[in-house]
Amino acid sequence: MIGKKIYTNLVDALNEQDNVELLDLSFKEIEDLPADIGKLKNLKKLNLQCNEIELLPDAICKLKKLEWIDVHKNYLNFIPDCLTKLDELEYLDLNDNDLVSLPENIGEMESLLWLFVNNNNLVSLPDSIINSEKIIFLLADNNMLTEIPGKIGNMSSITQMSFCNNELTSLPESIGYMERLTSLDLHSNKIMNLPDSMGRLKKLSKLDLHSNDLNNLSDNFFLLENLEYLFLNDNHLTVLPENIGELKNLKYINLSSNKFSDLEKKRIQSILPYTEIDW
């Protein structure tokens, strides 16, 4: 869409509705979107960020060519189910709203690649999300999630996933099947243990588990052969498994605010001589 005109006024856009592919209505103190927005049949990108919108009209679901929509920093507490019928939609940013749930069939969206739901009031994710074979980014930080769907491992295309600052106490065994995952951020939860299956995440390069309730790590955890950055600070760890030394690509590990003895610290340093360690 390089070179395409960006419309910044809905009236102007409606006057040239057949030509409109890019509409930027961000930072305009909009409270309500008129149903006329559904007339923009060729619209591909819609930016509504930083307004005062509480409800998206069903008319938005008529935008069948929509590929990208950003509605972050509004006051949405509900997403119309019909939004999931936008088969061309690849990018959906719902960050910083008041959502308590997502449409049940969000996992059936045919083209969705990026889903952002940070800073809402979500207590769960729809079970259907596990059916998504295309999502590559799933970010759900700062919600009230108590669990991750048990079969989340079915989401085989994900490369980056984040559930920071929720209420998670454990992870499903299926997480080990997310073979393309390169970055996993789970800091600031209440996770007490990790599934053995995590050792299967061979492409994982960054793992952030700081500020949880971990008191031990399984040997399988250190099969993460491509891990480069590991954050375990602010847990209850007293020892690390001997085979931590097998993490040959580990560049940095943060172990501060744990319960390691001086002897254990020396042992860890001796088996990770080329890794930067923060105590």
Looking at the domain assignment, is residue 219 inside a domain? Answer: no
Looking at the domain assignment, is residue 133 inside a domain? Answer: yes
Calpha distance 172→119 (Å, rounded): 23
Tokens of 92: 């959906």
pLDDT tens digits for range 88-136: 999 999 999 999 999 999 999 999 999 999 999 999 999 999 888 899 9
Rounded mean pLDDT, 269-274: 96
**Phi/psi at 101 (nearest 5 deg)?**
-155, 165
* Predicted model pTM: 0.95
Looking at the domain assignment, is residue 114 inside a domain? Answer: yes
Looking at the domain assignment, is residue 274 inside a domain? Answer: no
Rounded mean pLDDT, 228-242: 97
Res. 271: pLDDT tops 70: yes
Looking at the domain assignment, is residue 50 inside a domain? Answer: yes
Count Cβ atoms below 10 Å from residue 71 Cβ, excluding itself.
Answer: 24
The pLDDT score that the predictor gives to residue 1 is: 58
The count of domains in the chain is 1
List the CATH number of the domain containing 144.
3.80.10.10
Task: Using alpha carbons, list the distances in angstroms from residue 60 to 19, 43, 107.
Answer: 17, 10, 19
Calpha distance 119→67 (Å, rounded): 23
- Phi/psi zone of residue 55: left (φ > 0), alpha (ψ -120 to 50 degrees), beta? beta
The pLDDT score that the predictor gives to residue 2 is: 65
Q: pLDDT band at residue 4, thresholds of 50, 70 and 90?
A: confident
Contact 141, 162 (CB under 8 A): yes
Calpha distance 126→132 (Å, rounded): 11
Domain that holds residue 162: 6-208
Looking at the domain assignment, is residue 139 inside a domain? Answer: yes
Rounded mean pLDDT, 57-74: 98
The pLDDT score that the predictor gives to residue 66 is: 98
Looking at the domain assignment, is residue 183 inside a domain? Answer: yes
Looking at the domain assignment, is residue 246 inside a domain? Answer: no
